[in-house]
Amino acid sequence: MKVSAVRQPDAEPAFTTGRRIVRRPMPDAQPEFPADLSPLLARVYGARDVASAAELDYSLRRLQPYRGLTDIDAAVELLVSVLAAGGRVLVVGDFDADGATSSALVVRALRMLGASRVGYLVPNRFEYGYGLTPEIVAVAAEQAPDLIITVDNGIASIDGVAAARSQGIQVLVTDHHLPGEHLPDANAIVNPNRSGDAFPSKHLAGVGVAFYLMAALRARLREQGWFEARGIPEPNLAQLLDLVALGTVADVVPLDHNNRTLVAQGLARIRAGQSCPGIAALLRIAGRDPARVTSADLGFAVGPRLNAAGRLTDMSLGIECLLCEDEGRGLEMARELDSLNQERRRVEQDMQRQALEILQGLPPTQGGSLPLGLCLFDEAWHQGVVGILASRIKDCYHRPVIAFAPAADGAELKGSARSVPGLHIRDALHAVATRNPGLLNRFGGHAMAAGLSLDRDRYDTFVRAFDHEVRQQLREEDLQGVLLTDGELQEEEIALGPAEALRSAGPWGQAFPEPLFDGTFELVSRRIVSERHLKMVLRLPDSRRIADAIAFNTVDEDWPNEVTRVLLAYRLDVNEYQGRRNVQLVVEHVEPLDGRS
């Protein structure tokens, strides 16, 4: 009998071999919260290690100052000199949502600050690959830039930076990925994860780093009387926080207090109708109300549509959508992105089926189980979609996964890795490369996600080396699927008021997860809606009250008819239909408890 995991309707269908529910521990010390904070929210915050009301203050004054960033002064001086000389600036971004929002933010900010010669270039992943490569520098040189600014990339672009500098092009690297042993010889490098960097928030997304750089530049221009001398108003860079919120959530970086502040401020602008036309259009296409937008809407509805351009074609379409000032044109581009996202879903679903067939055919290890580190490859897989595939398989089998596709030249394989708690995937790849010199051509990334490339004829060697490295760091018991919940809700807490409070209490996201609750309910009725969603009516424990619940992307084909009780892990949400608003349980995990065959 299946135990199904589900997600929001705009997220990708999830499949799983089963997970167990574990309740979050509460802190030993009682957090210092305001007296008017509800016991439910106090419990939720306490379980997320929030110790005081100050940690819930998301006003801009609570942002960490930019002064701690290494090279921030050198970067600003470089920008000031280029802007003062009327030089041409070219922004080179990445082909994901973080890269797109970073590119759009820097272009918008520099124009707001008075720069007139600003453009962008984003590598096509299929032609040039990731980062500032010598090949993309050659394309950039055709525009004769005085300065290249990398956003969301560049920290590993040693050869590309050297190529640019050899042609007399200055380079400013802004990135958040972990550096390697050697840094590129750029004019300045702004990255909070540089060794010795004093900036306290190490989890900024690329768009967050870009925002801090632009804020520092504005401060320096203000000191120099730049705006008065040119008769232009000093811009309010908070206007760009919608882009920061989108890129931060879409890149799934941990939401520490600093990132939560950036996201909360961006969401506030979107809710107030002050977002850029492109984000407003993407929300409209996704059927989301901007006035009630949450971080989950950015992550599951807007982000995938924006990412679809970089995965299947060229991220220039996504960047243009974010730069667009015309609502009509923005809506046209949002529709194009939505069509690409639908195509991407079809491609991914085919790849998922193939991946499951591959896994069923894998020979078991000596212990009779699958490898702890899973590697998957198929000749027909799409290079732009292997990252999502790796994430889906990771969710299903609860172990690190790397999915590979052939590169354009056919001789090389491109891999996208996703990890589980306990294994820093970028460090694991570094260990593999160190123990096996020459095995990897390139690699880089974060704790939970990374990219790599290797020669096709070295794939089998890598598969063994990766599984060996995972086994050095993880055990079988570390790879059990776990759903961390905030425990049970009382009857009075399953109501519209608490649901509204939880919805507005975020922003929720990576490392600060949206509250998830568990409980056993009487199943009054069930039916399938829209062919793939399980709609349920539940009776609350020890009560006559009933509540609606929905498990997206879940069916009950193998449930016996006599099921009367279910164990759920669920989020408390608000369903709005025909002007009526009711509490609804959005189910992440459902397990029949009786009537088993």
User: In angstroms, rounded to a whole number, what is the distance separating the alpha carbons of residues 106 and 150?
Assistant: 10
Together in a domain, 325 and 262:
yes
Cβ neighbours, 10 Å, residue 490? 12
CATH code, 37: 2.40.50.460
Together in a domain, 151 and 196:
yes
CATH code, 187: 3.90.1640.30
Residue 95 lies in a domain: yes
Residue 264 lies in a domain: yes
What's residue 367's pLDDT? 56
Residue 325 lies in a domain: yes
User: In the beta sheet, which residues pair with residue 574?
Assistant: 583
- Please say whether the beta carbons of 584 and 576 come within 8 A: no
User: In angstroms, rounded to a whole number, what is the distance separating the alpha carbons of residues 99 and 107?
Assistant: 12
pTM above the 0.95 mark?
A: no
State the total domains in the chain.
3
Residue 353 lies in a domain: no
Alpha helices, DSSP H, located in 48-178 = 72-84, 97-112, 134-141, 158-166
Together in a domain, 370 and 334:
no
Across the range 525-531, mean pLDDT stands at: 90
CATH code, 366: 3.10.310.30
* Least confident range of 40-44, 60-64, 180-184, 591-595: 591-595
The per-residue pLDDT for range 418-440, each reduced to its tens digit, is 999 889 999 999 999 999 999 99
Together in a domain, 150 and 225:
yes
- Please say whether the beta carbons of 547 and 574 come within 8 A: no
The per-residue pLDDT for range 38-54, each reduced to its tens digit, is 999 999 999 999 988 99
Range of the domain at 234: 69-338
The per-residue pLDDT for range 547-587, each reduced to its tens digit, is 999 998 888 887 877 889 999 999 999 988 777 889 999 99
Together in a domain, 472 and 490:
no
Together in a domain, 324 and 472:
no
Structure tokens at 467: 């599984």
Residue 251 lies in a domain: yes
